[in-house]
Amino acid sequence: MIDPTIQSILLIGYTAYEKIRLLPDFVRQAAHCLMVCRTAVLGGHTQACPDGHYQRTWYNSCKHRMCPQCAYLQVQKWLAKQKTRILRCDHFHVIFTIPEELRFLWHFNTRLMTQILFTCSRDTLFELLGDQRYMGAKPGIIAS
């Protein structure tokens, strides 16, 4: 049975997927890193008993920030830091997303599309929450 990891899934299907989809360079680079992580492709080191009883090889990691094998500790540290930033008052966490039809544009115009998303999100919140029928308030917003 195949080990159900991101790496095994990519090894099985990524090559075929890449042939039918136009992917940005950063996606292709991340997929490559995840597929070769902790394999002989990246090299490694071996420790062995001098009498030949035992030998073990450890392969090097890709160190990519999206790799679940490499980034686990970094993700845990990041989460701990984010928990210190949580507001100590009642608040709502709102997430705005973009329609699937615009994702292609997003990949090639990330800075502009992010700016548009944040501006539209801010304007929407101010308009709705400022309306007396909803809340009649001026919201405080942290966008990240």
Find the domain containing 97 and state its range: 84-144
Residue 76 lies in a domain: no
CA distances from 104 to 24, 99, 107, 128 (A): 10, 10, 6, 29
Question: Domain total for the chain?
Answer: 2
Task: Tell me, yes or no, whether 66 and 118 share the same domain.
Answer: no
- Tens of pLDDT, residue by residue over 75-122, are 889 889 988 988 888 888 888 888 889 888 888 888 999 999 999 999
Task: Tell me, yes or no, whether 1 and 65 share the same domain.
Answer: yes
Task: Tell me, yes or no, whether 98 and 65 share the same domain.
Answer: no
Residue 78 lies in a domain: no
Task: Tell me, yes or no, whether 40 and 101 share the same domain.
Answer: no
For the chain, the average pLDDT equals 89
Residue 77 lies in a domain: no
